[in-house]
Amino acid sequence: MSLDILNQLESKIQQTVETIELLQLEIEDLKGKNRQLEEQAMNSSGSVTALQEENQRLKAEQQQWQDRLQSLLGRMKDIG
């Protein structure tokens, strides 16, 4: 009888060890995915910053053109 109990215990221990090993593999996989997502987030952040800078540059350029046009329209009004 005690041999059966020891065999059952050994079987349960083996199942537990296998479960732990599978969970460790899953943890490593999730850590890798987390690293990838962190890298993507950092890259996206950099892209957003670059786009914001370009947007500011384009707004400044647009303002310059508007100023030039206003100046030209003012000159044309003075002439006419």
| Closest among 47, 28, 29, 49 to 39, alpha carbons compared | 47
Average pLDDT, the chain: 94
pLDDT, tens digit, 9 for 90 and up, residues 16-52: 999 999 999 999 999 999 999 999 999 898 899 999 9
Query: Which residue has 């914001």 as its token pair?
Result: 52
The predicted model scores a pTM of 0.59
State yes or no: pLDDT of 77 exceeds 90.
no
Q: What is the mean pLDDT of residues 48-60?
A: 95
Provide mean pLDDT across the span 56-69: 97
pLDDT band for position 78 (cuts 50, 70, 90)? confident
Within 10 A of 29 (CB to CB), how many other CB atoms are there? 10
